[in-house]
């Protein structure tokens, strides 16, 4: 049985195990510290393009600081991503509070994340912008491991073993959308993240 040669550098079709810390305005907003490194296939748009571009050529053990501008990360803030939804269409199981995060299935069946940013008498405004849209991101990264992607992983476009599929049984039905509550952020739900100039 032929064994695949272990890649020596980050290149297309290589599975990268990466430890990282992400800061926005010198505040840590995400990190793998104390957790498993993330795994992704390089060159398959599994991660934001500005970061992916900066990883090419790194070896196991290499560390790097990377600044990714908003346009190469989650994009600029899009005013068209603010959508008013009738209150009656929000399932009763979901608390209508500022900052509550939801997952919404659109007409094409795609799952989109949204936050409640405004509550009116008859409508609730959902913000479909990514929470980090419009922000420059500062990453500190370390390459932990490299391996060749398996044929099936390349065919599917992601690393196997990751649970990338949403649990569709937890989606709520409504007239125009399907919703599910993103419970892990409810402790911080009292104040939505404001737009910064």
99-124 tens-digit pLDDT: 999 888 888 888 888 999 999 999 99
Q: Which residue has the higher pLDDT, 15 or 184?
A: 15
Average pLDDT for the chain: 83
pLDDT at 197: 41
Q: Report how far residue 180's alpha carbon sits from residue 91's, in angstroms, rounded to the nearest whole number.
A: 9
Q: Which CATH class is domain 79-131+171-187?
A: alpha beta
Q: List, for residues 28-48, the tens digit of each pLDDT value.
A: 999 999 999 999 999 999 999
Say yes or no: do domains 14-75+134-148 and 79-131+171-187 share a fold.
Answer: yes
**27 confidence band (pLDDT: 50, 70, 90):** very high
Domain ranges in the chain are 14-75+134-148, 79-131+171-187
pTM of the full structure: 0.69
Topology (CATH level 3) of domain 14-75+134-148: Chitinase A; domain 3 (3.10.50)
pLDDT band at 196 (very low <50, low <70, confident <90, very high): very low
Q: Is residue 87 helix, strand or coil?
A: helix
pLDDT in tens, 147-189: 999 999 999 989 987 444 433 333 333 344 555 555 444 444 3
Token reading at 157: 């476009």
pLDDT of residue 89: 87
């Amino acid at each position: 049985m032929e064994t695949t040669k272990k890649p020596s550098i980050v290149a297309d079709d290589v599975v990268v195990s990466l430890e990282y810390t992400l800061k926005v305005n010198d505040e840590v907003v995400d990190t793998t510290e104390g957790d498993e490194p993330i795994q992704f296939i390089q060159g398959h748009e599994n991660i934001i393009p500005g970061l992916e571009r900066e990883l090419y050529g790194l070896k196991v053990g290499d560390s790097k600081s990377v600044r990714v501008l908003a346009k190469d990360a989650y994009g600029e803030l899009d005013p068209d991503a603010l959508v008013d939804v009738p209150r009656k269409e929000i399932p009763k199981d979901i608390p209508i509070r500022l900052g509550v995060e939801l997952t919404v299935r659109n007409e094409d069946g795609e799952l989109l994340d949204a936050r409640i940013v405004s509550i009116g008498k008859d409508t609730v405004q959902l913000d479909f912008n990514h929470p980090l849209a419009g922000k420059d991101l500062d990453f500190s990264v370390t390459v932990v491991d490299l391996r060749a992607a398996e044929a099936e992983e390349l065919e599917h476009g992601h690393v196997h073993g990751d649970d990338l599929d949403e649990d569709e049984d937890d989606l709520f039905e409504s007239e125009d959308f399907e919703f599910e509550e993103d419970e892990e952020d409810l402790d911080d739900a009292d104040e939505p993240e404001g737009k910064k100039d």
